[in-house]
């Protein structure tokens, strides 16, 4: 990701260290609470007026002393950004994507990038509320990447987020391009600048195609605890036609791909599973692997797999598709078909999160004053 002015990074980071003016608390029971609707006590109002009067005195001093580092004044971050007449500050954020096929870097505005990611990651035939949930997750992912990663350039593959530009999508979709692009654009525009936060910080909003009936706790797949990435039931996928799949290997192929030292046939196999019924640990002839390692080495659809050995072949039967952590895309669509909103979908798959509007009605002077 690339920023037109590096001080924009400062602006974004400051936003997540204070309460947003447009923040909503969501819980797993799908209760929607508007924090701004709470009545404010008189003491708070008086205090706010006092702060405002103080700003009237302080702001001129800040303006006069811009760039003077030796006089003890708070430095003002110069910026090329503008504040629109209606008071909404636009963050001039560009995303730089390294294209795998050409090895070139393509730079696009944030919201256009989000449209292309949604178009590449989720079928346009899905319900609009599911597309909105995907848009917010995709936007959150790239903002989180900006705040925490040194390398601002991202890939266009599943290593980060799948990205196809408009020209590529036109070629892929053909005569369906107009209605598909319009539908996805509408979902992105109606959630513009919205991201998912936990305790004031943008989350790592992992998502995947289809669950095995439950999502996976992050600690079982990546080995790290994330309070918002917990296992939940996801029943909307189990009746889909591609819910189950089989991969057949020769015994020799399995031994080679896993680099097994066991020479006999059949291979002694022992499996330990996570609470969501995915493979936590598996032993092949005394050699132990995680379910993730086996999935990646054998290119299986998921870590929920069972194994059958017949003669010189090993049959893997999988349920679901993807790593299983975070939001199930087919599950999100199933919820949307039942009438759930994108807020409810995100609150269900990401525990204890909030939806936060990135842009706030505040001037650069206030940003500098709050440094």
Angle at the Cα of 12 (from 10 to 17), degrees rounded to 5?
A: 90
Percent of the chain with pLDDT over 70: 71
CA distances (Å), origin 96, targets 4, 152, 156, 335: 11, 7, 10, 33
What pLDDT is recorded for position 61? 38
The sign of the CA dihedral 241, 164, 341, 327 is: positive
pLDDT given at position 148: 79
CA torsion through residues 171, 172, 178, 183, sign: negative
Amino acid 91: pLDDT: 64
Phi, psi of 52 (to 5 degrees): -65, -45
pLDDT of residue 233: 98
| Model pLDDT for residues 117-127, shown as the tens digit of each residue | 999 999 999 99
Q: Which residues pair with 196 in a beta bridge?
A: 355
- Across the strands, what pairs with 327? 207
Helix axis angle for 177-189 and 110-121, nearest 10°, is 120
Q: What's residue 60's pLDDT? A: 40
Per-block average pLDDT, block size 10, for the chain (371 residues)? 48 49 40 36 44 43 36 29 38 88 94 97 98 98 84 85 96 98 98 95 96 98 96 97 97 98 96 98 98 98 98 97 98 98 98 87 29 30
List, for residues 312-337, the tens digit of each pLDDT value: 999 999 999 999 999 999 999 999 99
Q: What pLDDT is recorded for position 337? A: 98
What confidence score (pLDDT) does residue 137 get?
98
pLDDT at 147: 84
Q: How would you list the strands of the sheet with 313-319, edge to edge?
A: 244-250, 313-319, 305-310
Among 324, 303, 305, 322, which Cα is nearest to 314's?
Answer: 305
């Amino acid at each position: 990701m690339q920023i037109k002015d590096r001080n924009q990074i400062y602006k974004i980071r400051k936003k997540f260290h204070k309460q947003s003016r447009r923040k909503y608390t969501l819980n797993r029971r799908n209760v929607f609470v508007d924090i701004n609707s709470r009545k404010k006590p008189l003491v708070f109002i008086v205090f706010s007026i006092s702060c405002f009067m103080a700003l009237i005195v302080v702001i001129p001093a800040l303006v006069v002393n811009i760039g003077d580092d030796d006089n003890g004044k708070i430095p003002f971050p110069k910026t090329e950004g503008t504040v629109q007449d209606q008071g909404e500050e636009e963050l001039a954020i560009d995303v730089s994507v390294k294209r795998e096929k050409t090895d070139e870097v393509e730079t696009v505005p944030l919201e256009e990038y989000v449209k292309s990611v949604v178009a590449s990651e989720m079928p346009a035939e899905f319900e609009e509320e599911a597309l909105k949930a995907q848009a917010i997750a995709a936007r959150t992912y790239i903002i989180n990447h900006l705040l925490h990663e040194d390398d601002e350039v991202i890939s266009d593959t599943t290593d980060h987020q799948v990205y196809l530009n408009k020209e590529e999508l036109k070629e892929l979709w053909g005569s369906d391009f107009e209605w598909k692009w319009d539908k996805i654009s509408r979902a992105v525009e109606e959630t513009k600048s919205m991201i998912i936060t936990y305790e004031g910080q943008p989350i790592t909003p992992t998502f995947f195609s289809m669950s095995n009936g439950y999502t996976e706790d992050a600690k079982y797949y990546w080995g790290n605890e994330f309070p918002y990435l917990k296992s939940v039931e996801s029943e909307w996928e189990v009746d889909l036609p591609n819910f189950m799949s089989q991969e057949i290997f020769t015994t020799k192929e399995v031994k080679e791909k896993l680099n097994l030292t066991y020479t006999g046939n059949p291979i002694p196999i022992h499996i330990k599973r996570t609470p969501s019924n995915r493979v936590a640990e598996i032993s092949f002839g005394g050699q132990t692997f995680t379910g993730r390692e086996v999935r990646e080495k054998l290119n299986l659809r998921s870590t929920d797999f069972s194994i059958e050995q017949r003669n010189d072949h090993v049959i893997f039967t999988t349920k679901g598709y993807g790593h299983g952590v975070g939001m199930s895309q087919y599950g999100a669509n199933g919820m949307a078909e039942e009438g759930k909103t994108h807020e409810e979908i995100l609150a269900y798959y990401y525990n204890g999160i909030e939806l936060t509007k990135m842009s706030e009605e505040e001037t650069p002077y206030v940003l500098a004053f709050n440094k």
